[in-house]
Each structure stands twice: as C-alpha cells, then as structure tokens.
Amino acid sequence: MSNEATLLERIQRHDQVALAEVYDLYFDQIYRYIYFRLHEPEAAADLAAEVFLALVTALKSDKPPRTSLTGWLYTVARNLAADHIKHKSRTVPLLDEIIADEPSLSEQTQWVHLMPLLTNALHQLTDDQQQVIALRFGQGLSLVETAEVLNKSIGAVKALQHRAVAMLARLMPEVEHE
C-alpha cells in the first residue's frame, strides 16, 4: 500500500496524526499550485490553508476523500482558485515564474517584453488547457498525476497539453536569441 493510500485510510478513520502528516506533506505543493495560478502570495497561502480546512470539514461531515487524496486536494485547490479569480473579476497570469536562475540584464529585458505576450497567450487557452499547463509545467506533475488531479485519462491530458503548447506556439511571436 502506498504512503498516500495509507494516509487516506488513516484520515478516513479520523487519525489526527495522519491529518498533520497530510498537511506537512502536501501544503507546500498545494500552495505552489495555487500561487502558480494566482501569482498572489497572500491569497495563495490563505487558499492553501482553506484546502486543508475543507479536508477537516469533509472529515467531520463523514465525507472524506475516498480514492485519491492528492486528486481531492488539487480539486479543492483548483475550485478555490477559480472562485478567487471569479470574485476578483480578473484573468490569471499562469507563467510568471518560468525563469529559474538569475537571468542576465538582456534576458530580463527580453522577459519584460515577452511576459505580457505570454500572459495574453495563456489567457486565450481553455480552462482545461491552462490547468494542464499549470500542473505539468508549473508543478512538474507527471502525465499520470495530472490525469488523476483533473480526473481525465492520460490520453486526454496528452491531447490537452499538445493543443495548449501548439496554440501557445501560434500565439507567441518569434524571438531572436542573441
């Protein structure tokens, strides 16, 4: 039995230690996922905490996750982020954190010009395509993990990813490299 399956079984039995373990294991990745969608650190922290509050509420009402703890947590996170976006009546910048290392000054200048274009291109994707991009590239989840979180087949995730990347390629201008 996997660690997640064991934790799921334990929280279904209202094991408080297991609930603390779930929080310790998953809070950071749920926070990063929400932050990737919102690019608002405070809101991401609040919503990540709400995900775990929702888990406690579900346990108290005897409606805990049944099959996939990770999938349940990401689904709640996705729904909370979507509600936050609707409430703020604005679109979501998805890829503000693409740069991992400290870029050079010329790269920084190039990114200043490209980020609005990329953000605009991302907003033209469907919500499902944005979800796949956020999970696959923002969170680094595998196809299997992404399929589980989105409750879709691996083939559907591959197709969404392919269409999203192809659409981004069409929407983004060609960039000259120095």
SS3 label, residue 61: coil
pLDDT tens readout for residues 85-109: 887 754 444 444 444 455 566 666 6
Q: Is 1-92's fold the same as 104-178's? A: no
Residue 81: CB atoms within 10 Å: 25
Total-model pTM: 0.59
pLDDT of residue 108: 64
The CATH code of domain 1-92 reads 1.10.1740.10
pLDDT at 31: 93
Could you give the percent of the chain with pLDDT greater than 90? 20
Q: What is the mean pLDDT of residues 41-67?
A: 89
CATH topology of domain 104-178: Arc Repressor Mutant, subunit A (1.10.10)
Domain ranges of the chain: 1-92, 104-178
pLDDT digits (tens, 9 = 90+) for 56-80: 888 888 888 888 888 899 999 999 9
Cβ atoms 122, 130 nearer than 8 A:
yes
